[in-house]
Each structure stands twice: as C-alpha cells, then as structure tokens.
C-alpha cells in the first residue's frame, strides 16, 4: 500500500455548525473538499499511532463513497483500527454507543441529520470525541482554523474495502472491522428498559406505529420493536434506509412525517406513534389524535424516570437548550435537582454529563437523551415512553386488584398519590371514587393513553404552552437584518408594554460552562415578559441553503380549564408581537412559517 501526500488549497467555507459541516452533496464531491476537511480533523485531534476510530453514516447519498475515502485517509494517518458499520451505516446514537463501548479515540459520523438526501440533497460530517459526544467548540474551531491553512492531505492508494459482510480486513497496517450496526445499540437499550413489561404491553392489544422515514433507524426499529418486543411487523413503516429517504424529508415533525400523522389522527388510530430522523437522533411522539411537544416530552420523561429500571436510582439533574420550554425546570424544582439552560447543540450537554451533573437532556428540536451515551437518541426516547406506559398499566392494574379486595379508599391514601411529579397520581385519583370503576376496563384505557399522561402532567405542574415557527431558506441578508434590528431595539423594548404583556428583559443569550468555564455568546435573542412568557429569535445552524430563522413562543398557563386551548390560539398575541417587533414579514416577504411545531 502506497501513501500519497496530495497537494491542496484551502476552502473558505469549512466552518462546522451546530452539528458538524453540512453542505450540498455537490459541494462535498468537489475535488479535495471532503479530503481537506477530514485531514483537518486528523491534524487537529492528533490521535496517537494505532488509535481506534469509529466510522459510519446515515446511508444518505454519497455515504459509501465518503466512507472509502475516509478509510484510506485513516490508514495513511496512522490509525490502527476503524470500526465501521455494515454497509457504512451507523446511526448517530449507535456511533456514540460504539465509541464508548470499545473505547475508541473518537469517531467520524457522516450525516446531515434531518436534512433531505439524494444527489441534489445535503451531506454532512462531524467528529465525536472519546466520550461519544460531538466535539466541543474549542475543537471545532481548531478544525476550522486548520482547514484555512491546509496545504496537503495524506491518503493510501488501495482498493476499496468490502463493507457488506461482518468481519475484519486489512488496509495496509490498519484493521477495518465491519461491525453489526444494530446489536450493540439494541443490547444497551435492553439494559436500560423493562423489555418484559413493554412486551406485555404490546401483546395486550396496545398498537404501536413507528415511522423510520426511510432513514437509518429502520433496521434498529425492526430488531427492537418486532424481533425483541414482539410488535407486529407492520408496526414499523418506511423501514428500508434509502439514499434519498424515499424522496421525503427525514425530519420527524407534523409537516414531514405526514404518513404517521395521518395514521394517528385517523379513525382507527393506533395507541402510540413515533418517528425518527435521518440519522436516528431525533424523535416525535404522538398519541391518538394528540401531539406531544418535545419540551413536554423531556419534562414528562423526567417526572416518570422512577418507573424505568435504568433511572430508578434518581436523576442527578436535567439540562435543556435555551429555546426549549421551561417545563423541565418545574419538574427539576419538584424533584429538588438542578436544571441547566445551555445553548443549542448537544455538545453543550457533554460536559455536564461527564461531570455527573445531569442525567436527562433535551432540546425543543425533537432531541432527547440521557447519560447512557453522549448524543440525543430517538429510539431511546420512544422506548422510554413505552416503558412509562407499560409501568403505568401495571401500577393501575395492581391498584385495581388491591382496591377490589380492600375498597377504593386505600387508593386515595396511597403514598404515590402524595408524590409530586408522578403521572400515576391522577390515574389513582380518577378511579379511586368507585370500586366498580376500579374494576372496569376503563382502567386499561387510562393507563395507556398518551394524552392522559400529558394532561395529568399539566394538571400538576401547569402547562408551558409552546410553539416554534420556522422560516426556512430565507436570504441570509434578510435574516441577518431581522436579527440586527432586534439587537438595535433592546433599549426601547426594555420595560415596554406590548399588548397585554410587559417586557421584563431582552438580551442575546450567553452561556458560561459550569465545568470548564468556556463562554459561548450570540446564542439567540430573548425577550422575556413579567408573567414568565417569552419570545426567542434564533438563526439555525443546520441548514445548507440560505438561512433558517426560528421564532420560539412560550407562555405559562396554570389554569387547567384553559389547557385544552390550541397552542396557536393560546399564543396568538405573542405571535403577533413577534412579527411586529421583528418586521419579519416586511423584511423577508414571508407571510407564514415553513413549518410550525
């Protein structure tokens, strides 16, 4: 095997965003473009000779070709072994699992997450460190600096490596280990959740529908839900990963996961629906005719963590991104644990988890996870919800039997009914008034209804009414103009009366990491009101064309009588205020958002 040093010139646009470098496929296919960025990674991390690297991607267009290039560059740069997912495919959560389990020096993940795929779609690449999480800003900034001065890259002249059969092969002195992309991850999930209880739930008439969106989670979902948990095979739809995601947009939200949404809002809706994205790190949770916001999902998982074997020991703390609603803060307060507010980007959670400060983390952009790995994890969130539903069913069934024997009064006095944050409390209260009702089949419905869980949570903690409005592919000049206008209005907005609201503060969010002291600034404009409501404006770092401007809207509603209001209706005045103070319509020409969640 011959190693070549190839002369090259820097590209000026290789600055990683929130989750690595994302560009159109055609950009990555330009001569030297991929190679320059990979060499910049290798030069920056300075891995010791013989180090182990994990490698894989979400299967999108150009994934296999990029894998071959990176393998040859890894061999030329002195790596001793590369763990690559079979077929070059490895979900982002599974990649984090593999890095941690096999103590790899780090990993390269090829994905543009929820962005469209295909020859005219997007491609992405990011580096994860030895803890399994995305590289922190100090490393991504160093990679960008290296990319601006690179003069050559190293690559081996060698045949392509066979990727479709498990086992080891040699690329010069480097071993290429093609590994099962599903087995290690599925085993980790089985160690965290009560698979026996979930299996009993699914065998008892509970109907599940999971939409893999022709993305990476299809094989994982089949193995876990069908093979290990016994769900019918048609419980998993769009399960074959395709390079163009079947022509769809692999973003699990109400707009793009339309097939799942139609099923869950149909006449014969399943009990539970979920979807994941391109690389498997995001999730959407649905009940029958009911959508669970990611912010509420994080709060509910935290409030019910005691029901899940892997988290029965308690939570060290919770972390959420700044734009995510404060619902989780209320649970943290009830549990007397800290809740950290960080910038957007999972890398900010890594330090907190490594330091033992938090157990659960979440972002409003459909990402939830825990310290089991260092990435957000779509299927993990789905299993967490199923475990809660299964545990509630068992708890209520047990209470039914006890009340039938002893009378309903014991349910009202049960210690669980006095414990804050536990969704079971409303189950017991709702049936404790009647032994006959305790014995009725309605118990089964109460115990397994997603909407009941959410409404019970709101009844106890209050509802953080929340919505995100995305304006995608806006000209950069117009989007930057909106943000500049908002910054310029801080002075006049402070203390101003806007409709029924009074401004308490306005700022551009900054964050000082409590572990390493690093400071991140310019993370989004916040306008907070005296009643706890707020509006946040932020430019997303995940797009590849133009700019995505996001408006986050939140108000707190403690009155149960108002909890059934549609979020857009409840937030109507805040929406109006946000458009007026930003002049978004006038400056962008957009009359309505691209996506509302």
Gap between the Cα atoms of 61 and 39, Å rounded: 22
pLDDT at 1: 80
Asked if 113 is an active-site residue, the reply is yes
pLDDT at 225: 98
Q: Which one, of 385, 321, 395, lies nearest residue 189 by Cα?
A: 385
Q: Is 25 in a helix, a strand, or coil?
A: helix
Q: Which one, of 38, 44, 23, lies nearest residue 123 by Cα?
A: 23
For residue 4, CA distances in Å to 49, 77, 106, 152, 153 come to 18, 11, 24, 10, 8
pLDDT band at 595 (very low <50, low <70, confident <90, very high): confident
Does the pLDDT at position 413 exceed 60? no
pLDDT band at 28 (very low <50, low <70, confident <90, very high): very high
More confident residue, 121 or 394: 121
- pLDDT tens for each residue of 491-502: 999 999 999 999
- CA-only gyration radius of the chain, Å: 24
| All structural domains of the chain | 2-181 (3.40.120.10), 185-387 (3.40.120.10), 463-596 (3.30.310.50)
DSSP state of 535: E
Q: Which of 85-99, 211-225, 300-314, 429-443 has the lowest mean pLDDT?
A: 429-443
More confident residue, 146 or 115: 146
CA dihedral for 445, 450, 451, 452, sign (positive or negative): positive
Q: Residue for token digits 């599974």?
A: 94
Query: What is the chain's length?
Result: 597
pLDDT at 405: 67
Q: Which one, of 210, 174, 191, 190, lies nearest residue 283 by Cα?
A: 210
CA–centroid distance for 253 within its chain? 12
More confident residue, 126 or 411: 126
Residue 247: burial class (beta carbons within 10 Å; 0-12, 13-18, 19+): exposed
Cα dihedral value 133, 138, 140, 145, nearest 10: -160
pLDDT band at 38 (very low <50, low <70, confident <90, very high): very high
Q: Which one, of 132, 128, 130, 71, lies nearest residue 97 by Cα?
A: 132
* Interval 275-291 mean pLDDT: 96
Check: CB of residue 320 under 8 Å from CB of residue 416.
no
Q: Residue for token digits 């296999």?
A: 64
* Interval 528-538 mean pLDDT: 95
pLDDT at 406: 67
Structure tokens at 528: 């907070």
CA–centroid distance for 349 within its chain? 12
Check: CB of residue 319 under 8 Å from CB of residue 349.
yes
pLDDT band at 397 (very low <50, low <70, confident <90, very high): low
pLDDT at 343: 93
pLDDT band at 427 (very low <50, low <70, confident <90, very high): very low
Q: Residue for token digits 């979930």?
A: 198
pLDDT band at 582 (very low <50, low <70, confident <90, very high): very high
- pLDDT tens for each residue of 94-130: 999 999 999 999 999 999 988 889 999 999 999 999 9
pLDDT band at 273 (very low <50, low <70, confident <90, very high): very high
pLDDT band at 137 (very low <50, low <70, confident <90, very high): confident
Tell me what the pLDDT averaged over the chain comes to: 90
Residue 328: burial class (beta carbons within 10 Å; 0-12, 13-18, 19+): buried
pLDDT at 438: 27
Does the pLDDT at position 403 exceed 70? no
* Interval 125-148 mean pLDDT: 95
pLDDT band at 404 (very low <50, low <70, confident <90, very high): low
Check: CB of residue 439 under 8 Å from CB of residue 447.
no
pLDDT at 70: 98
Structure tokens at 269: 């809706």
Structure tokens at 348: 């900010």
Does the pLDDT at position 578 exceed 50? yes
Task: Write down the catalytic residue from 40, 91, 113, 297.
Answer: 113
Does the pLDDT at position 423 exceed 70? no
Does the pLDDT at position 565 exceed 80? yes
pLDDT band at 444 (very low <50, low <70, confident <90, very high): very low
Does the pLDDT at position 134 exceed 90? yes
Check: CB of residue 118 under 8 Å from CB of residue 61.
yes
pLDDT band at 400 (very low <50, low <70, confident <90, very high): low
- pLDDT tens for each residue of 151-193: 999 999 999 999 999 999 999 999 999 999 899 999 999 999 9
- pLDDT tens for each residue of 332-388: 999 999 999 999 988 899 999 999 999 999 999 899 999 999 999 999 999 999 999
pLDDT at 417: 38
CA dihedral for 60, 65, 69, 71, sign (positive or negative): positive
pLDDT band at 398 (very low <50, low <70, confident <90, very high): low
DSSP string of 212-237, one letter each residue: -TTSTHHHHHIIIIIIIT---GGGEE
Gap between the Cα atoms of 589 and 474, Å rounded: 9
Q: Is 457 in a helix, a strand, or coil?
A: helix
Q: Which of 19-23, 66-70, 462-466 has the lowest mean pLDDT?
A: 19-23
Check: CB of residue 274 under 8 Å from CB of residue 283.
yes
**539-558: string of b/e by CB count within 10 Å (b at 16+)?**
bbbbbbeebbbbbbbbbbbe
Check: CB of residue 33 under 8 Å from CB of residue 27.
yes
């Amino acid at each position: 095997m011959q190693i070549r040093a190839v002369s090259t010139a820097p590209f000026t646009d290789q600055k990683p965003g929130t989750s690595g470098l994302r560009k159109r496929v055609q950009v990555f296919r330009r001569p030297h473009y991929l190679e320059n960025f990979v060499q910049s990674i290798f030069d920056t991390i300075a891995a010791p000779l013989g180090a182990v690297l994990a490698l894989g991607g979400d299967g999108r267009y150009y994934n296999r070709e990029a894998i071959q290039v990176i393998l040859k560059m890894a061999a030329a740069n002195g790596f001793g072994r590369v763990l690559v997912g079979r077929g070059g495919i490895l979900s982002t959560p599974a990649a984090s699992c593999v890095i941690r389990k096999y103590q790899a020096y780090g990993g390269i993940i090829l994905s543009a997450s929820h962005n469209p795929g295909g020859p005219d779609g997007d491609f992405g690449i990011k580096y994860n460190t030895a803890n399994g999480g995305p590289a922190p800003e100090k490393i991504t900034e160093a990679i960008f600096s290296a990319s601006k001065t690179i003069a050559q890259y190293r690559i081996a002249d060698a045949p392509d490596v066979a990727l479709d059969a498990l086992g080891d092969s040699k690329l010069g002195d480097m071993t290429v280990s093609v590994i099962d992309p599903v087995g290690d991850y599925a085993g980790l999930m089985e160690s965290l959740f009560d698979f026996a209880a979930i299996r009993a739930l699914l065998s008892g008439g509970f109907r599940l529908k999971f939409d893999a969106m022709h993305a990476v989670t299809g094989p994982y979902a089949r193995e876990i839900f069908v093979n290990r948990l016994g769900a019918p095979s048609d419980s998993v739809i769009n399960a074959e990963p395709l390079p163009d995601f079947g022509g769809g947009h692999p973003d699990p939200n109400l707009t793009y996961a339309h097939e799942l949404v139609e099923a869950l809002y149909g006449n014969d809706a399943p009990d539970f629906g979920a979807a994941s994205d391109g690389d498997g790190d995001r999730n959407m949770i649905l009940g029958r005719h009911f959508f669970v916001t990611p912010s509420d999902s994080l709060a509910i998982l935290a409030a019910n963590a005691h029901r899940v074997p892997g988290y029965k020991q308690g939570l060290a703390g919770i972390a959420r991104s700044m734009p995510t609603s404060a619902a989780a803060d209320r649970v943290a307060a009830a549990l007397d644990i800290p809740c950290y507010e960080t910038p957007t980007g999972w890398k900010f959670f890594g330090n907190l988890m490594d330091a033992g400060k938090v157990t659960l983390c979440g972002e409003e952009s459909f990402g939830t996870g825990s310290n089991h790995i260092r990435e957000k994890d779509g299927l993990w969130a789905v299993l967490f919800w199923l475990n809660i539903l299964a545990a509630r069913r068992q708890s209520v069934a047990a209470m039914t039997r006890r009340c039938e024997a002893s009378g309903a009064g014991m349910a009202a006095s049960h210690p669980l009914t006095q414990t804050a944050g536990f969704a079971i409390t409303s189950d017991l209260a709702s049936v404790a008034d009647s032994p006959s009702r305790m014995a009725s089949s309605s118990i089964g419905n109460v115990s397994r209804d997603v909407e009941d869980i959410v409404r019970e949570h709101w009844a106890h903690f209050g509802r953080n009414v929340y919505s995100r409005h995305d304006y995608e592919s806006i000209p950069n000049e117009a989007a930057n103009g909106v943000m500049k206008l908002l910054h310029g209005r801080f002075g006049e907005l402070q203390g101003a009366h806007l409709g029924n609201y009074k401004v308490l503060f306005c700022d551009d969010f900054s964050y000082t990491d409590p572990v390493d002291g690093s400071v991140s600034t310019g993370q989004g404009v916040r306008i907070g009101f005296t009643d706890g409501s707020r509006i946040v404006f932020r430019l997303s770092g995940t797009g590849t064309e133009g700019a995505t401007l996001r408006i986050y809207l939140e108000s707190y509603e403690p009155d149960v009588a108002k909890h059934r209001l549609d979020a857009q209706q409840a937030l109507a005045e805040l929406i109006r205020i946000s458009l007026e103070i930003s002049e978004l319509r006038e400056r962008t020409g957009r009359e309505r958002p691209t996506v509302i969640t």
